[in-house]
Amino acid sequence: MRRKGSPWTGLAPVFLKELADHLSSARMRVLEWLVLLTGIAAVYTAIREIGSVTAEDPFLLLRLFTHARDPLPSFVSLLGFLIPLVAIGLGFDAVNSEFSRRTMSRVLAQPIYRDALLVGKFLAGLGTLAISLVALWLLIVGLGLVLLGVPPSGEEVLRSLTFLVVTLFYGGVWLAVAILFSVLFRSTATSALCAIGLWLLLTILWPILVPFIVQAIIPPDPAAIILGVTSLEQIELQQTLSRFSPNTLFGEIVLALLHPSTRALGLVFPSQLQGALLGAPLPFGESLLLVWPQITGLIAAVILLFAITYVSFQRQEIRA
Amino acid sequence: MSTVVVSARNLTKRYGRVTAVDGINLAVQRGEIFGLLGPNGAGKTTTILMLLGLTEVTSGRIDVLGFDPARDPLEVKRRIGYLPDSVGFYDNLTAYENLRYTARLARIDRSEIEDRIASALKRVRLDQVADRRVATFSRGMRQRLGLAEVLLKRAEVAILDEPTSGLDPQSTYELLEMIRGLKADGVAVLLSSHLLDRVQSVCDRVALFHRGRIALQGTVAELAREVLGGGFTILVEARGTDTATLAAIPGVRQVTDEGDGRYRLLADSDLRSEVAGRIVSGGGTLLRLNMLEPSLDAIYARYFEGARDAA
């Protein structure tokens, strides 16, 4: 039996209302300040450092993003850490709060499908992330222009804009995770805890666990132990497993996009490097090609998570 | 004019092995107030959700203004106003903003939204607090705001789930008056409640739910005749008369002497003038003569007493 009418009816009002809610909420303001302050601190120290050391770097703008100096990590690694937190903050009570406020049945009694409500909420979260990220990007580029006085090249702008889009997808993964938990759990506290738990697992515990899992699956070769090296299979498995974490994917994409001289993300044999000018930057297209699988992986994760969320939301009883 | 606007035939809803609604039949006409009455968990809310297309129907057919809620929920929901059980609003928004969100979801023309909200709020007497955040509203005010939402949509059918539960007598009275106002506009009102006596006064017809089935359906008077044995109960307080005199009046089936000159008569019809005449002509003094309205509570209690005995 087919239902009549467009599933997108009512998408615009839901999107606008949720966006307004996000942008005016105290929670969002706290998260924004957190990102902004840490970001500015990281970039400011990077600028001071770059100003005194490098004069001939062709990618000065990109250095702003990636330069790290103790004790502050680089701006991108800060982002990689904070973006999931912001995304979870935006999404963890998206659906279950409608139940706890008892507004769900009233809203769904209006002539809209559930699709519009869910898609509207997801897009509003993504829109909020996009607005904050673009603002942050402009701020950094502006700071760079003012304090360094070197105009960015076309390629630098292109690379950093691609980085912006990828960061948005990275945030989208965590937003989708948070909204999924908000559908699965009726209590907002439970869904927030689960989302943060998963984030901690994938960000902090997963990199520690992966080597042990690899050891368990592929027992080390006696010859390799004697030589004190890891076997090829082990390294490959380790890399595959660690790529299940969106953080690893994001890290690899950042590496290729913001360090133009990156040529490979895995093992490289000396034979493959024959004739290569080590340290010479790759063109933008080549860098993008290098991490295309990672980018696709992030987008696929967003779509998969959203699909699971969609199905479980459609099957849910509305009676609160 | 008797146009059926909402009808359900053989409507059934099962959750796994539990049957929440078991083959009910309903027909609500334009401009009438139809009460879905019964205890909690009898299947009233499930029925309402199925009528709105918010829950899938296991079997049976529904027709709301010519549309099937399962196939064409948007058309159905555009025409129905729904006030859920203990309705919630976005506390961080004002009453006006909450209604504006609904109006946009209902795709009301932008040029009309402001006027419609203003008149709806005026009708439920919330126009003074339109710009106050809903967080500060009392339960009665929220319930009225929910009713304003129904008015705003200019719904042809209004479905109100437990509209008076948790309200004080004054708010209940006001809300019921507003529901009568809906009826005057020609809106078909479907009202669910577990407080039988509260809503008895406004309902034209009622359906009594019991364990997923409609046990009884009809006007209160019809149900009374069916369940209470068609009797009219007349209370008499008089001096100088006795049980035998009253029992001799044609049409009186039973007389109970309640002492102190009070008698309870069960009669086939409204015999008040005959009773008065007989007492006075017999030399007695009539102090009080009163006919009891059949109460839904009594009907319900009596019916299920009977049902239990039969089982």
Structure confidence by residue, pLDDT tens digits, B39-64: 888 899 999 999 999 998 999 999 99
B219 CB neighbour count, 10 Å cutoff: 12
For B260-311, what is each residue's pLDDT tens digit?
888 888 887 788 888 888 888 888 888 888 887 777 887 887 787 766 655 4
Tell me the pairing of strands B285-292 and B59-64: unpaired
B240 in Cβ contact with B299 (< 8 Å): no
Tokens of A144: 């760079």
Residue B288 Rama label (left phi>0; alpha psi -120 to 50; beta): beta
For B116-175, what is each residue's pLDDT tens digit?
999 999 999 999 999 999 999 999 999 999 999 999 999 999 999 999 888 888 999 999
For B86-103, what is each residue's pLDDT tens digit?
899 999 999 999 999 999
CATH 3.30.70.100 domain range(s) in chain B: 229-293
Q: CA angle, A233 as apex, A228 and A238 as ends, to 5°?
A: 90
Residue A298 Rama label (left phi>0; alpha psi -120 to 50; beta): alpha
Instruction: Among A262-266, B75-79, B176-180, B192-196, name the one with the lowest average pLDDT.
Output: A262-266
Identify the pLDDT of residue A118. Answer: 96
3-class secondary structure per residue, A39-58: HHHHHHHHHHHHHHHCCCCC
Instruction: Quote the minimal CA–CA distance from A317 to chain B in Å.
Output: 7
* Residue A4 lies inside a defined structural domain of this protein: no
Which among B45, B87, B105 is the nearest to A10, CB-wise?
Answer: B105
* Residue A2 lies inside a defined structural domain of this protein: no
Instruction: Quote the minimal CA–CA distance from B87 to chain A in Å.
Output: 6
CATH superfamily of B4-219: P-loop containing nucleotide triphosphate hydrolases (3.40.50.300)
Euclidean distance between CA atoms B208 and B311, whole angstroms: 18
Does the beta-carbon distance from A112 to B74 stay under 8 Å? yes
Q: What are phi and psi of A236, to 5 degrees?
A: -65, -40
Contacts of B100 in chain A (CB under 8 A): none
Identify the pLDDT of residue A53. Answer: 66
Tokens of B65: 């203004």
Reference B22, options B30, B14, B34; nearest CA is B14
Q: Edge-to-edge, what's the strand order for the sheet holding B59-64?
A: B18-29, B4-15, B59-64
Identify the pLDDT of residue A55. Answer: 57
Contacts of B83 in chain A (CB under 8 A): 106
Tell me the pairing of strands B4-15 and B59-64: antiparallel
**CATH dotted code for B229-293:** 3.30.70.100
Domain span at residue A15 reads: 11-314
Distance of CA A130 to the CA centre of its chain: 12
User: Which helix H or strand E contains A250, and what residues bound it?
Assistant: helix A246-258
B82 CB neighbour count, 10 Å cutoff: 27
CATH 3.40.50.300 domain range(s) in chain B: 4-219
For A68-116, what is each residue's pLDDT tens digit?
777 778 888 888 888 999 999 999 999 999 999 999 999 999 999 999 9
Rounded to 10 deg, the angle between the B220-227 and B296-310 helix axes is 40
* Residue A302 lies inside a defined structural domain of this protein: yes
Domain count along chain A: 1
pLDDT, chain B, mean: 88
Q: How far apart are the first and last CA of chain A?
A: 26
Rounded to 10 deg, the angle between the A232-242 and A206-217 helix axes is 140
Instruction: Quote the minimal CA–CA distance from B42 to chain A in Å.
Output: 15
A141 in Cβ contact with A152 (< 8 Å): yes
